[in-house]
Amino acid sequence: MSLLAASRSESTKLFTTSIWWVLAIVLVGYVGFNAAALAFVFSAASTGALGGEGAPPTPADGIPSLLYSTATAVGYVFPLLIGTLMVTSEFRHKTLTSTFLATPRRGLVLGAKLVVGLAVGLLFGVLGVIAAVGPSAAFLAGYGLDTDLTSGDTWALIGRMLVAFVVWVWVGIGVGALVRNQVGAIVGVLVFTLFLEPIARLAASFVDGLGDALRFLPGAAGDALVGESILTAASGAGGAEPLAWWAGGLVLVGYAAVLVVLGHFVSWRRDVT
């Protein structure tokens, strides 16, 4: 079986289930809510509407890109989850046996999942960008602030967000290939992305030198690739200089590559029954 045929099979397995559209709906709602809430606060603060009498308004420079990056800053867990589920669902529902019988070359099956991951990552990226940019631009325009939607830098930011969504799906595929147990993989992803790394990055604000090491964590690398993040802004990157966007991208791709390779040799080649 060719890579094209295997990719078509993997695409059918994913898009004929409810996993992808359920996560897509939650992604849009979650990112949209956070973007709208932050856009209201920042827009009102920039015009002085939230300050007390005589309080100076918050500078509006850089606010549009910060708000638009909400798509990846709070939404990157969704492509990570869909990538993980693309693999662990096969272990859980015992469909991997028939998959390997139809396509004995296991590396080809994993490669096909990466190809489908590219498509679903772009799909989730577009949805996330719309969910973040839509309400953010509406609030900015409503308060008379520049949306920066005509700026080339803004569209470069959006392009990097789409790339980040794709790579996060690949990271998830690597996690799923390495950790066969679906519950364990999902719990591990959620604990790390929602608790461990954010807490560590915030703690870096109070510990000298810690930020230099933590900027190589997956979430920090993803934020560096995009170029903006509310978490990076809140933590101040722990006093460390963030990675360049291309370096952040390489680090994140490195995580995906290492996880996929380890998953292939440690778990993927083992018996599935």
pLDDT value of residue 179: 92
Average pLDDT over residues 167-194: 95
Lowest mean pLDDT among 25-39, 93-107, 187-201, 241-255: 93-107
pLDDT recorded at residue 117? 97
Q: In the predicted model, is pLDDT for residue 38 greater than 50?
A: yes
Residues 205-248: pLDDT tens digits? 777 777 788 889 999 999 999 999 888 777 665 557 889 999 99
What is the predicted pLDDT for the residue at 56? 46
Look at residue 135 in the predicted model and tell me its pLDDT: 97
Record the tokens describing residue 232, joined without a space.
């990076």
Q: What is the pLDDT of residues 70-107, one digit of tens each?
A: 999 999 999 999 999 999 998 887 887 787 777 778 88
Pick the residue with more confidence: 241 or 67? 67
**Ranges 17-21, 49-53, 114-118: which has the least confidence:** 49-53
pLDDT at residue 124 in the model: 98
Residue-wise DSSP of 172-222: HHHHHHH---HHHHHHHHHHIIIIIHHHHHHHTTTSTTHHHHHTTSHHHHH
Q: What is the pLDDT of residue 1?
A: 64
Residue-wise pLDDT for 44-60, tens only, equals: 888 776 655 444 455 56
Other CB atoms within 10 Å distance of the CB of residue 93? 10
Residue 273 has what pLDDT? 59
Q: How far apart are the first and last CA of the chain?
A: 23
Q: What is the CA radius of gyration of the chain?
A: 20
- Check residues 105 and 18 and name the one with the higher pLDDT: 18
**Global confidence as pTM:** 0.92
Q: Per mean pLDDT, which range of 24-28, 164-168, 190-194 is the poorest?
A: 190-194
56 CB-contact burial (10 Å; exposed 0-12 / middle 13-18 / buried 19+): exposed
Whether the predicted pLDDT of 161 surpasses 80: yes
